[in-house]
């Protein structure tokens, strides 16, 4: 594993789940079968067909694909300039997707990392995307980690951004965001300004409110604004978003390369989680960026530089 030099002191937080604390010794993982699964609906959820936006530098990006997965309450419209930069600099097409219950993708009552992973795995197969780099932020980070551990052959490498493969409580901000968004829907606002005022007590930072309110739309010209995402479903899924479906790195491991990017002002990837990351992802590299949880939007140039350097080294 490789560590970039930190720009701040380590961020310590009590996020390592007790069930991980006794696992210290490394052992050889059980080999996993080749990626030959058929993606059909399970007893508990169905695979949904994901909406996406392709960034391919006007058709000039012909290399191996990059798939970008947003975080909770996000969409494929997030970080478009970053996706365009990757397509241009790396000459690789970038598929920015909407996960289930986000953006223009279908809604479903099941919202957990196994369901999210199966959706994206089906997307890769449908579009015949091979040797992909999977980039995910927050919820998207746990999704790409889940995919890599479920089916290592589904991708060439992964780049999880500001999340770790542990069961860890979400920041208290996310339940507040969900509550505020429900309040907005109940008020049936006619304008973005009105919605912003309702949401302000639940999301103090203007950039966060602007991010959340990108999900608002008008079904009809005279209708009140409403969220295109199913806020109630996502509010009920917050515990699942704090969870991680794998608990034992002695049973599953991703032996390909992985770049973990964390914000030094964020608690989601504390130094205590690094040994667990190293056991699930023994070839991981770590880059720290002087930012909070919203690493990509806060420091896009630094994020682009870290990803480009990582991927160019692999060529």
Catalytic residues: 138, 293
Distance CA 115, CA 147 (A): 10
* 6, two tokens: 């930190």
Distance CA 199, CA 225 (A): 13
Instruction: Decide: 180 and 198 in contact? Cβ < 8 Å.
Output: yes
Instruction: Decide: 175 and 279 in contact? Cβ < 8 Å.
Output: no
Task: Specify the DSSP element, H or E, that contains 80.
Answer: helix 80-90
Task: Specify the DSSP element, H or E, that contains 123.
Answer: helix 113-126
Strand-by-strand arrangement of the 258-263 sheet: 2-3, 284-289, 258-263, 157-161, 133-137, 66-69, 94-97, 52-55
Residues 6+ apart with CB under 8 A from 39: 47, 118, 121, 122, 125
Task: Specify the DSSP element, H or E, that contains 18.
Answer: none
Task: Specify the DSSP element, H or E, that contains 255.
Answer: none
Distances (CA, A) of 5 to 34, 135, 216, 245, 289: 36, 22, 40, 31, 10
């Amino acid at each position: 594993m490789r560590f970039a030099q930190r720009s701040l002191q380590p961020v310590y937080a009590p996020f390592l789940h007790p069930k991980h604390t006794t696992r210290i010794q490394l052992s050889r993982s059980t080999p996993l079968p080749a990626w030959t699964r058929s993606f059909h609906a399970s007893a508990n959820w169905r695979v949904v067909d994901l909406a996406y936006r392709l960034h391919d530098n006007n058709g000039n990006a012909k290399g191996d694909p990059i798939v970008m997965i947003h975080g909770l309450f996000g969409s494929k419209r997030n970080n478009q300039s970053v996706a365009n930069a990757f397509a241009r600099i790396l000459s690789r097409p970038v598929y920015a997707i909407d996960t289930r219950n986000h953006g223009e993708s279908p809604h479903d009552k099941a919202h957990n990392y196994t369901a999210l992973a199966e959706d994206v795995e089906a997307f890769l197969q449908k579009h015949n995307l091979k040797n992909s780099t999977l980039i995910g932020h927050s919820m998207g980070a746990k999704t790409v980690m889940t995919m890599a551990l479920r089916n290592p052959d589904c991708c060439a490498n992964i780049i999880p951004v500001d999340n770790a493969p542990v069961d860890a409580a979400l920041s208290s901000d996310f339940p507040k965001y969900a509550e505020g968004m429900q309040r907005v829907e109940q008020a049936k606002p006619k304008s973005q300004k009105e919605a912003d005022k309702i949401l302000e007590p639940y999301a103090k930072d203007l950039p966060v409110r602007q991010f959340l309110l990108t999900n608002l739309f008008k079904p009809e010209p005279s209708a009140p604004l409403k969220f295109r995402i199913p806020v109630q479903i996502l509010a009920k899924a917050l515990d699942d978003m704090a969870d991680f479906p794998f608990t034992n790195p002695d049973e599953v491991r991703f032996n390909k390369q992985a770049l973990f990017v964390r914000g030094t002002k964020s608690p989601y990837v504390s130094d205590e989680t690094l040994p667990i990351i190293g056991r699930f992802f023994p070839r991981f590299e770590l880059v720290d960026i002087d930012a909070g949880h919203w690493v990509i939007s806060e420091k896009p140039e630094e994020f682009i530089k870290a990803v480009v350097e990582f991927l160019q080294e692999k060529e």
